[in-house]
């Protein structure tokens, strides 16, 4: 086991996880890992190969052949598919609409969770997703569950021009059998609805200090 620290940030879509993780990573010199990108990358490849994302058997067969590689560049996680760095295509409407189905498949999760834990080899990590505090790093004392009003969250996606049915995705992510979105034991809950990015970051840092974070 590595001695590095893991900070777990979980919450529904557009609650502000990536924003918070980016801010804290810069402040505390942490590696920022966006675990959602990994589920999005698998989903993008599945769609690219013409596979029905709801056909779990076909997805699992494709997963076995998939060349997924994770590394760190400029302090954040990078996902490569077949050697090529992934980018904006991961946030397409098609991926937004299919990622929850792919992420509900236990075999997909097993492979990605193992890769996610591997980031601790590189240094102290802040990782955001849905099951970081419950499954990926259940033993870390540093856990935040971010939330925001449903209307605020939907508005945040529209504001950046993304087509994303946040409500449907949250429902699927919360109801699935394997690693559903839920508040992890020991997590501090932070509602970002009324926060600016700066005030939300300060509030999160205070909660982490209360949990004993010394960085
Ligand atoms: O940015 P946003 O919160 O909208 O989504 P994301 O973090 O990019 O995650 C996309 C999707 O991946 C989620 O809706 C989940 O279905 C899945 N996911 C997951 O199941 N577990 C994680 N740790 C991270 C993402
Ligand atoms: O990663 P997640 O999907 O949880 O959310 P995000 O991508 O960090 O944030 C979604 C949007 O909300 C971004 O455009 C942020 O700039 C914005 N945001 C905000 O307006 N106020 C906050 N306190 C946090 C995020």
**Residue by residue, what is the 3-state secondary structure of 50-119?**
CCCCCCHHHHHHHHHHCCEEEEEECCEEEEEECCEECCHHHHCHHHHHHHHHHHCCHHHHHHHHHHHHHH
Ligand 2 atom nearest to CA at 36? 1
pTM: 0.97
Q: Is the pLDDT of residue 127 over 70?
A: yes
Among positive and negative, which fits the CA dihedral 71, 74, 77, 81? Answer: negative
Q: Is residue 169 part of a domain?
A: yes
pLDDT score, position 192: 95
pLDDT score, position 37: 97
Ligand 2 pocket member 19 (CB < 6 A): yes
Q: If you take atom 25 of ligand 1, which residue's CA is the nearest one?
A: 36
- If you ran DSSP here, which 8-state letter would residue 32 be given? E
pLDDT score, position 32: 98
Q: Is residue 213 part of a domain?
A: no
C-beta separation of 46 from 62 below 8 A: yes
- Cα 208 to ligand 1 centroid, rounded to whole Å: 22
Cβ contacts of 12 within 8 Å, gap of 6 or more: 147, 148, 153, 166, 170, 173, 174, 181
Ligand 1 pocket member 99 (CB < 6 A): yes
pLDDT average, residue stretch 34-50? 98
Ligand 2 pocket member 160 (CB < 6 A): yes
Condensed to tens digits (0 to 9), the pLDDT of residues 54-105 reads 999 999 999 999 999 999 999 999 999 999 999 999 999 999 999 999 999 9
Ligand 1 atom nearest to CA at 170? 14
Ligand 1 pocket member 35 (CB < 6 A): yes
Domain that holds residue 37: 6-208
In the structure, what pLDDT confidence band is assigned to residue 185 with cuts at 50, 70 and 90?
very high
Q: Is the pLDDT of residue 17 over 70?
A: yes
pLDDT score, position 59: 98
Ligand 2 atom nearest to CA at 34? 1
pLDDT score, position 164: 82
pLDDT score, position 119: 97
Q: Which helix (H) or strand (E) holds 16?
A: none
How many structural domains are present in the chain? 1
Q: Is residue 1 part of a domain?
A: no
Q: Is the pLDDT of residue 2 over 80?
A: no
pLDDT average, residue stretch 179-206? 97
Mutate to test the pocket of ligand 2, among 19, 196, 201 (most ligand atoms within 8 A of CB): 19
Ligand 1 atom nearest to CA at 100? 16
Report whether 140 belongs to an annotated binding site: no
Q: Is residue 214 part of a domain?
A: no
Q: Is residue 35 part of a domain?
A: yes
Domain with 100 in it: what CATH number?
Answer: 3.40.50.300
pLDDT score, position 163: 82
Mean pLDDT of the chain: 96
pLDDT score, position 1: 54
Report whether 16 belongs to an annotated binding site: yes
Q: Is residue 78 part of a domain?
A: yes
């Amino acid at each position: 086991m590595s001695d590095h620290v893991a900070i777990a940030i979980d919450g529904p879509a557009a609650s502000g996880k990536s924003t918070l993780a980016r801010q804290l990573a810069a402040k505390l010199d942490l590696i920022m890992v966006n675990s959602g990108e990994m589920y999005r990358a698998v989903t993008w490849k599945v769609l690219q190969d013409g596979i029905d994302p709801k056909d779990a058997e076909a997805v699992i067969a494709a997963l076995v052949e998939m060349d997924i590689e994770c590394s760190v560049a400029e302090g954040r996680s990078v996902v490569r598919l077949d050697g090529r760095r992934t980018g904006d295509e991961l946030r397409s409407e098609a991926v937004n609409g299919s990622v929850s189905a792919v992420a509900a498949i236990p075999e997909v999760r097993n492979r990605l969770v193992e890769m996610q834990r591997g980031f601790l080899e590189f240094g102290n990590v802040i990782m955001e997703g849905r099951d970081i505090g419950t499954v990926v790093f259940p033993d870390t004392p540093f856990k935040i569950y971010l939330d925001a009003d449903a209307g605020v969250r939907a508005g945040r996606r529209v504001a950046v021009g993304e087509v994303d049915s946040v409500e449907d995705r949250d429902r699927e992510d919360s109801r699935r059998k394997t690693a559903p979105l839920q508040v992890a034991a020991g997590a501090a809950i932070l509602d970002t609805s009324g926060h600016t990015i700066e005030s939300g970051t300060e509030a999160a840092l205070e909660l982490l200090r209360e949990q004993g974070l010394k960085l």
